[in-house]
A and B are shown apart, each in its own frame.
Chain A
Amino acid sequence: MHSNNLPSLTYDFNSSESFLTRISASAKIMLVLAFALCIALLSSVSAQLFLLGYSFMLIFLAKIQLRALIKRVLSLDGFLIFLWLTLPFSGPHGVELALSITIRTHAAVFAFMALLGTTSMGELLYGLRALAIPQKLVLLLHFTYRYARVFVEEAEKIYTSMTLRMFHPSLSLGTLRSYGNLIGMLLVRSILRSERVAHAMELRGFDGSFHFLESPASPKEGDNFRLGVLYILLAGCFIL
């Protein structure tokens, strides 16, 4: 396979089959949305701690590799350190607020990793269509995912050609102008590429509807019961 130094855009954190990989993508999307709603709306620390525990359970159920989990948590905590360095000194409830944000972000990241990180992009797009999300939005998500790497590669190519011609970023108008050129060139190239992709689609009979491959779920006996328990636990936490 092609190898380069770009960060991987795939987000399969587990290689083994689990209950969460067997259930349908649309059920996982609904669950993660419900979870996101709960974690955003519930303000009591005890409820947030419950949801953190719930997200840990999801991680366990999804059989996520520990190394992948630690990597993500460390990159998240890198941002949260700045929060802890400033927020506690900003007012009487600073520590409480910083703690709440820390719990919420960790819970949200764990839940998204467990539920969406175990879903392939094809399944996710199919799941969104099954939930009657407008096709235009689904296609927008799909093309963003597909061309994010190409976009990064284009930016790297331009930046490399700048550095090879002795470009050193500094606090100057010249640097700003160079970055402006880079962004402008990326924009132009993106427009041209989007035109070519549209042509390629048109030439292969695209008429406005995208026939995504069906990714039927293959739940085993008891999987739907387990899914029901997850929904009930979440609903119970929200009600209480």
Chain B
Amino acid sequence: MTSFLSLQNISFAYPSSEPLFSRLNLNLYREGKIFIRGRNGAGKTTLFSLIMGLLKPTEGSILLEGNPIKTKKDIRHLRRKVGLLFQDPDDQLFCPTLLDDILFGPLNLGMEKEEAMDSAMKAMKVLNIVSLASYPPYALSGGQKRLGALAALLSMKPELLLLDEPSNGLDEEAWENLVSVLQKLPIALVIASHDIPFLEQVTHKGYEMKKGYLLSLN
């Protein structure tokens, strides 16, 4: 199977720091739910930032559907197809109401208002948060914010979602709700987390990030 997103010989180091990755390789496909786990500071969030073009690798290349990501236009194209859920949903929800937030991406993609609204409603229905549409994000609970941020990504109809510590700070009910939502999502997921029970329920295979390398775990 041809990989959807491919990281080839990626090296990266923060300024005045030891290299975090050295010639790292990873292939991601359009199907399946996989995890990346590793200790704090191992580089999971950095890896996602590199994929999304928020950081630039010092060496190596990232390929989307076989084409290297080089220009700003390529990065914009990648961001249409890949979504990133941040660790803290407060960073991701910044509009006056949750509905505005969910519409933010589709409108920026150039969708017409009706189409954007349709996409937003579909995303909210999948996550069962239609009733929260008119609430300001600050008035939502941690679990609701997380689902709101996820809806904001789903409304852009991505083909792959990168989730950075999605179960952090959730109570039991919100945790179970998120597990059930992610199990049903018909989209490829890469989840970075240390929450082993969560990963066991949502993903089927994954990698351990250790000393800048990804070790396959099945």
**A1–B139 contact, CB under 8 A?**
yes
**A122–B52 contact, CB under 8 A?**
no
Choose, from A47-55, A197-205, A221-229, the stretch at the interface.
A197-205
Q: How far is the CB of B131 from chain A (nearest CB, A)?
A: 11
Kindly state whether residue B99 has any CB partner on chain A within 8 Å.
yes
**A205–B76 contact, CB under 8 A?**
yes
> How many residues in B have their beta carbons less than 8 Å from beta carbons of A?
38
**B108–A205 contact, CB under 8 A?**
yes
Instruction: Give Cα A147 to B138, complex, Å.
Output: 8
Q: How far is the CB of A6 from chain B (nearest CB, A)?
A: 9
Instruction: Give Cα A176 to B119, complex, Å.
Output: 52
Tell me whether A213 and B86 are in contact in the complex, defined as CB-CB below 8 angstroms, given that A10-B136, A150-B138, A203-B52 are known contacts: no
Q: How far is the CB of B84 from chain A (nearest CB, A)?
A: 6
Chain B, range 143-195, C-beta contacts under 8 Å to A: 144, 152-153, 156
**B76–A122 contact, CB under 8 A?**
no
Partner of B100, one of A122, A197, A200: A122
Taking CB as reference atom, which chain B residue is nearest A148?
B138
Choose, from B14-22, B56-64, B87-95, B204-212, the stretch at the interface.
B87-95
Q: How far is the CB of B212 from chain A (nearest CB, A)?
A: 23
- Which residues of chain A are within 8 angstroms of B140 by Cβ–Cβ distance? 1-2
Q: How far is the CB of A46 from chain B (nearest CB, A)?
A: 41
Kindly state whether residue B54 has any CB partner on chain A within 8 Å.
yes
**A2–B91 contact, CB under 8 A?**
no
Taking CB as reference atom, which chain A residue is nearest B143?
A2
Report which B residues bind A (CB closer than 8 A): 49, 52, 54, 76, 79-80, 83-84, 86, 88, 90-92, 94-97, 99-100, 103-105, 107-109, 113, 135-142, 144, 152-153, 156
List 21 A-B residue pairs with CB atoms under 8 Å apart, sorted by A's residue number. Answer: A2-B140, A2-B142, A149-B138, A150-B90, A193-B91, A199-B54, A200-B86, A200-B94, A201-B94, A203-B52, A204-B79, A204-B105, A204-B108, A204-B153, A205-B79, A205-B156, A206-B104, A206-B108, A211-B107, A212-B96, A213-B99
Report which A residues bind B (CB closer than 8 A): 1-2, 9-10, 120-122, 125, 142-143, 145-147, 149-150, 193, 196-197, 199-207, 211-214
| Further pairs besides A204-B156, A211-B104: 20, Cβ < 8 Å | A1-B135, A1-B139, A2-B138, A9-B138, A120-B96, A143-B94, A146-B95, A146-B137, A147-B94, A149-B138, A196-B88, A196-B91, A199-B49, A199-B54, A203-B52, A204-B152, A205-B105, A205-B109, A206-B104, A213-B100
